[in-house]
Chain A
Amino acid sequence: MGFEVLAKGNNAMRLLEGLGVAMRISLISVVISIVLGVILGVLVELKRPFIMAFFRVYLEIVRIMPQMVLLFIVYFGTTKALGLNLSAEAASIIVFSFWGAAEMADLVRGALGGIPVIQYESAASLGLTRIQTYRYVIVPQIVRRMIPLSINLITRMIKTTSLVMMIGIVEVLKVGQQIIEANRKSSPNAAFGIFATVFLLYFLACWPISQLAKYLEKKWEN
C-alpha cells in the first residue's frame, strides 16, 4: 500500500519536520492576528465613521478574496510592483495575518457589541469606575467568548497553511511529493501511503484543538 516508504531512511522524520514548518507559520500568524485583531476590533467599536468604512472594505476584501489569490498578490505582485524581494515564508505570514486579523477583529467587535448596555449601567450604578467596569465586568465576559473562537482560528490557520506549498515553501505536502518522487521505482504505491499519512497528520494536528474549542464553548455557555 506504499506505507513502507515511511520506514525508509528518515522519511517519517522529514514529513514531521514539514508539518513543523506549516505549524510554525500558522502559530506566528495566529499570534499576530490576535494582537492586531483585538486592537482593530476595539477601534471599530468606538464607531468612528472613518474607521467603520475602512473596516467594512477590509472585511469585504478578506471575505471574498481566496487566501491563495492574496498569497499570489503578495508573493508575486509586490516583487513586481515594489521591487521588494519577500521570502515565501514572510509573504505567507503577511497574508495569513491580514486574513486572521480581519476575522479576529470581527469576532471582537461582535463580542463587545453583544454585551448588553444594562451591564455598563449596573456597573456604573454600583459605583464602579470606567476602568473597573472593564476590568471586572466586561473583559472577563469577552475573554470567555473569545477564547473558543480564537482556538478555532488556530485550526483554520493550520489548515490554510497547506496552501503555502503553492508558492514554493517546502512543508509537509511538498516533502511528501519529494519522497514519492525519490521512491518512484522502489515503491510505486508510495503516493497512497504518503498522502494517507499527511491526511492523518493534519487531522491529528487539528482535531484535538477543535475538540478543546468545542469543550470550552460548552463549558462557558451562559
Chain B
Amino acid sequence: MNPEVIREYLPLYKEAFILTLRTGWIGILLAFAIGILVAFAIHFRVPVLSKIASVYVELFRNTPLLVQLFFIYFALPKIGLSIPAETCGAVGLGLLGGSYMAEGIRSGLDAVPVSQEESALALGLTKRQLFTYVVFPEAMSISIPAIVANVIFLLKETSVFSAISLMDLMFTAKDLIGLYYDTTEALVLLVVFYIIMLLPVSILGSIIEKRVRLRTLGG
C-alpha cells in the first residue's frame, strides 16, 4: 500500500462519498414517504388505490434495483421522459425502498392488537384520535426493526448507482482501478468509506432494536 496514492485519491473519494450519501438519503426519505402512503392505502383498503399499491409493491419487490434503474434511465427517455442521473438514482432507490418500507409499515399496522382499538373506542376516542394516538404510534414502534433493516439495505444498494454513470464510490473505485491499476489502494478506500457510511447506522440500528424489544418484554 502506497500512502502517497491514498493521499492523492482521498479527495476524489470524499466527493464521491458526499454524492453517494446525498443521493442515498434523499432516496431513503422518498422511500419512507412512499412506504407510508402505500401502507395506508393497503391497510385501509382504499378502493382502487389499494389495488394499484399492491401491484406496485409486488413489481418492485420482485425486481432488482439495477434493472429498475436501467428502465428509468435508459428506457423512459424513449417515451419522452428524460431524468438526470442523480434524480434517477434517488427516484429509483425511492421506488425500490418504498415497496420494502410499505411491507414493513403495513405489517406493523396489522400487528396492533384489536383490543387496543376496542379499548380506545370504549374510552370515547374518535376514529381520528384512535389512529393518531393509538394505532399509528404502536404500529411504528413495531415496524422500527424492519425500517432500520431497510435503511441499511438501501444504503448498500446505492452501490448500484455507478451503472447509470453516477460518480459514486463504486464508480470512482472502478475508474481509478482502470486508470492507474492501484487496485489495493482503490479497494481499501472503497471499503473504508462504506464502513464510515454504514457502521454507525448498523450500530444505531442494534441499539434501537434492543430498546424496542425491551418495550415488548415489559408489555
Contact = CB atoms under 8 A, between A and B. Distances in A.
B70 A80 contact: no
Contact of B63 (A63, A66, A159): A159
Contact of A65 (B59, B183, B191): B191
A141 interface: no
A117 interface: no
A80 B184 contact: yes
B183 A195 contact: no
Contacts of A81: 184
Nearest to A210: B62
Contacts of A7: none
Contacts of B140: none
B195 interface: yes
A198 B74 CA distance: 12
Contacts of A194: 75
A1 interface: yes
Task: Count chain A CB atoms within 10 A of each CB in B78, B162, B194 and give the residue with the most.
Answer: B78
A68 interface: yes
A60 B199 CA distance: 9
Interface in A159-186: 159-160, 162-163, 165-166, 173, 176, 180
A66 B68 CA distance: 18
B159 interface: yes
Interface residues of B, number: 39
B78 A64 contact: no
Interface stretch (B25-33, B123-131, B169-177, B208-216): B169-177
Interface in A171-222: 173, 176, 180, 188-189, 191-192, 194-196, 198-199, 202-203, 206-207, 210
In which size bucket is the chain A interface? 35 or more
Contacts of B67: 162, 173, 195, 198-199, 202
Interface string B68-80: 1011001111110
B177 A76 contact: yes
Contact of A192 (B58, B75, B157, B159): B75
Given A63-B152, A69-B191, A189 B78 contact: yes
A1 B61 contact: no
Given A155-B62, A162-B64, A196-B71, A69 B184 contact: no
A76 B75 contact: no
A73 interface: yes
B202 A60 contact: yes
Nearest to B63: A202
Given A64-B198, A72-B187, A77-B187, A159 B64 contact: yes
A173 B73 CA distance: 14
Nearest to B174: A72
Contacts of A2: 78
B45 to A, nearest CB: 19
B146 to A, nearest CB: 14
A147 to B, nearest CB: 19
A24 B36 CA distance: 36
Given A166-B163, A191-B78, A206-B62, 8 more contacts: A64-B202, A66-B157, A72-B174, A79-B183, A80-B184, A165-B66, A195-B74, A196-B75
Interface of B: 58-59, 61-64, 66-68, 70-71, 74-79, 152, 156-160, 162-163, 170, 173-174, 177, 183-184, 187, 190-191, 194-195, 198-199, 202
14 contacts: A65-B191, A66-B157, A69-B159, A72-B187, A73-B187, A159-B64, A166-B162, A191-B74, A191-B77, A194-B75, A199-B67, A203-B58, A203-B63, A210-B62
